[in-house]
Amino acid sequence: MSSAPESGGYDLPLHVEQYGEGHRKIMLLHGFGANSYTWLSWIGGLAKEHEVWSVELKGHGSAPAPPDDLYSLHDHADLVHRLIVQKDLRELTLVGHSMGGGIALLVALLLLEEGRLERLVLVSGAAFPQRLPPFIALAARGRLSEWGLRLCPKRLLIRRVLRSIVYDPEGVTEAQVATYAEPLYSAPHRTALIKTAVGIIPPDLAQITARIPEIDLPTLLLWGRHDWVVPLDVAERLLAALPSAQLEILEDCGHMPPEELPKESLDIVLKFLRGEGQDPSPQTPDTSAPEEADT
């Protein structure tokens, strides 16, 4: 597996790492406050048959955090779209987790007439109106958030957030905690995180969701049964709205399938990319909650 990191190339405030070779491309978009570590367990398997582009969004991870106000969901989507066009990426599969799923939907709408996008994978992806998770709602409180993020022990904060969003809190590792906490030691990145939280709900969300049925591409919806951050009913609504979608639900899993169940989640994605077992008229699976849910 080869890696050729690019940071801020083409005048875009993104950090990009490339792996593997092949005609078909995969672009990975992480969620709010995250970075490429989200995909660590997937990249090797994906890069065996694809060229993989792992993108760290503006103000996240190793990407620059310029002191402007362009951190809305539309702003993030615009940067990803510009990267795809500037690199002339085709036969592309967009994979988005959480907020990255919402960005992937926006990018898919931008690419509708360009013939570049081949497939879509939404992993616990944000889409429809919902209650903001507490860690995002708190980050959106402007100066109060900035003060709190500056003074709060970074690893303690990240550990608590991670443990609250996975199915098994004991599975959270120190490597996860350290990697996700690292950008919070940078004042510009803390500010960027707050600006992203403030702009995370697009003012035109109703218009965006109304256009979701226009995305007539093979789409995999991959969800944890116990995801309370982006609940399973969001996946059900996406399944109903997208013309060519299939939903796969992982048991004993919360909001982070690539990290909670790396092998099982990757196997599902690889089968989807190979076109294995796809039903052109998928039936809505039983998404009722089990009688007892140990969360």
pLDDT in tens, 128-145: 999 888 878 777 776 657
Output the pLDDT for position 254: 98
pLDDT in tens, 3-44: 444 444 458 999 999 999 888 999 999 999 999 999 999 999
Q: What are the boundaries of each domain within the chain?
A: 6-134+203-273
Q: What is the pLDDT averaged over residues 76-101?
A: 97
Output the pLDDT for position 93: 98
Range name among 51-65, 116-130, 264-278 with the lowest pLDDT average? 264-278
Contact call for residues 200 and 31 (beta carbons, < 8 A): no
Q: pTM for the complete prediction?
A: 0.90
Output the pLDDT for position 132: 87
pLDDT band at 161; cut points 50, 70, 90: very high
In CATH terms, the fold of domain 6-134+203-273 is Rossmann fold (3.40.50)
Q: What is the pLDDT averaged over residues 111-135?
A: 93
Output the pLDDT for position 144: 55
Q: What is the pLDDT averaged over residues 234-262?
A: 98
pLDDT in tens, 173-211: 999 999 999 999 999 999 999 999 999 999 999 999 999
Q: Does residue 294 register a pLDDT over 50?
A: no
Output the pLDDT for position 148: 72
Output the pLDDT for position 277: 61
pLDDT band at 149; cut points 50, 70, 90: confident
